[in-house]
């Protein structure tokens, strides 16, 4: 486990894999009538609650400072509450596959932000890896285009906000990481803050009765909460080990994993171009991993 905890590639594979499973789980929940804001709340409360319990079992607490409070609030809004609300609102309108493709745009946008703000810049092979991965994502998108649900242009534009928010979160969390604070503390605090924001929205908008459909999918709800807790523990560790640009590639892995999950669990079928694109995604991650190791 320690080897994985210190390996950027291992952390990327685990984090991206767990993220990839969130879309089919969200699709099942949406089919049972669970509102997007409720499902986003389940993810943040599940992740934050389990991680906080882990801290307490280790006799550690979330000591609050002004810096940490600022970090939790901003990271919660732009990294979790808003993106998850958009993601699970978009899934029933754009389709799980199309929404998943939005994740793959995050590395390119993160790279642009990283260059503009002078955060860690990848070397040339790293850029090549990102481009190869993006080419694979484009192939997947084109291959699934004919089978995609009819989409409203407004929802496509809303969907494009997802990678922008994810990229902004990647950069912010690196630039404002509180000193002497570990990844588990940051994951727990940020998700509990996101859960509080979403709960306030639930009370003000659909009301507490919106929780009722969760009773139709108790197993899926528990699976989502547990996977979210595991994913974000590895997610923040990957942030520290790999940096924001490398972290952003979880979208590539999630898109590839989503294809396998859809095939195995949802009875979805894909053309050969889709699988070829998935292989390109894997190649892009491998190239960037090698570039990351040689750079530093």
Place of tokens 């699709």: 27
Would you list the domain boundaries of the chain? Answer: 2-295
Question: What is the phi/psi pair of residue 268, to 5°?
Answer: -85, 150
What's 120's DSSP letter?
-
Q: Given a cut of 50, is residue 165 above it in pLDDT?
A: yes
Rounded to whole angstroms, the Cα distance separating 275 from 44 reads 32
Per-residue pLDDT, averaged over 274-296, amounts to 75
Is residue 280 within 8 Å of residue 135, measured between CB atoms?
yes
Evaluate whether 201 touches 36 at the Cβ level (below 8 Å).
Answer: no
Q: In this predicted model, what pLDDT tens digit does every residue of 45-80 receive, in sequence order?
A: 998 998 888 888 887 777 789 999 999 999 999 999
Contacts of 243 (CB under 8 A, 6+ apart): 119, 120, 174, 292
The structure's pTM equals 0.82
pLDDT tens-digit map of 233-251: 788 788 788 877 777 778 8
Distance in angstroms (rounded) separating the CA atoms of residues 65 and 128? 41
pLDDT digits (tens, 9 = 90+) for 100-158: 777 877 777 777 787 777 766 667 887 888 888 888 877 776 765 444 444 566 787 78
What is the average pLDDT score of the chain?
83
Alpha-carbon span 229 to 250, nearest angstrom = 16
Burial pattern 159-175, b for ≥16 Cβ within 10 A else e, equals: beebbbbbbbbbbbbbe
Rounded Cα distance between 24 and 227, Å, is 13
């Amino acid at each position: 486990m320690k080897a994985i905890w210190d390996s950027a590639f291992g952390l990327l594979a685990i984090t991206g894999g767990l993220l990839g499973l969130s879309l089919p789980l969200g699709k099942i929940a949406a089919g049972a009538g669970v509102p997007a804001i409720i499902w986003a709340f389940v993810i943040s409360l599940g992740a934050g609650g389990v991680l906080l319990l882990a801290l307490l079992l280790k006799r550690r607490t979330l000591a609050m400072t002004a810096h940490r409070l600022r970090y939790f609030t901003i990271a919660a809004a732009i990294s979790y509450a808003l993106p998850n609300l958009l993601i699970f609102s978009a899934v029933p309108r754009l389709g799980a596959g199309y929404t998943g493709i939005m994740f793959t745009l995050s590395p390119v946008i993160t790279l642009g932000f990283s260059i503009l703000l002078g955060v860690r810049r990848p070397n040339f092979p790293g850029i090549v890896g990102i481009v190869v991965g993006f080419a694979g994502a484009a192939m997947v998108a084109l291959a699934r285009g004919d089978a995609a649900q009819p989409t409203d242009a407004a929802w496509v534009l809303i969907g494009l906000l997802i990678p922008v928010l994810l990229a902004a979160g990647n950069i912010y969390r690196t630039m404002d990481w509180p000193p002497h604070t570990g990844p588990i503390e940051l994951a727990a605090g940020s998700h509990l803050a996101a859960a509080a924001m979403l709960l306030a929205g639930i009370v003000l908008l659909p009301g507490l009765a919106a929780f009722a459909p969760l009773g139709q999918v108790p197993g899926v709800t528990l699976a989502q909460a547990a996977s979210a807790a595991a994913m974000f523990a590895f997610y923040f560790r990957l942030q520290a080990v790999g940096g924001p640009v490398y972290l952003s590639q979880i979208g590539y892995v999630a898109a590839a994993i989503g294809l396998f999950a859809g095939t195995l669990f949802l009875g979805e079928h894909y053309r050969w171009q889709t699988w070829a694109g998935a292989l390109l995604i894997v190649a892009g991650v491998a190239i960037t991993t090698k570039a990351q190791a040689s750079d530093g």
